[in-house]
Structure 1
């Protein structure tokens, strides 16, 4: 049970990090168009 919840939390964290990275990349592209 504990391991399952830990992996779930890790999945949520990874999703959050990916969304954050995506947002930062999009903002950078919008601010500095190449």
Structure 2
């Protein structure tokens, strides 16, 4: 049980990073659509 705690905290950090990346990609797609 003690091992799962640091792993879960790492996973939440990773999910935050991936969410930021997804938001960036969506923003890029929107700007590309607006250009056209």
Q: Normalising TM by the smaller chain, what interval? A: 0.7 to 0.9
Bigger radius of gyration:
2
TM-score (norm 2): 0.78
TM-score for the superposition, normalised by structure 1? 0.81
Unaligned 5+ residue runs, structure 1?
none
- Unaligned ranges ≥5, structure 2: none
**Equivalent residues, number:** 34
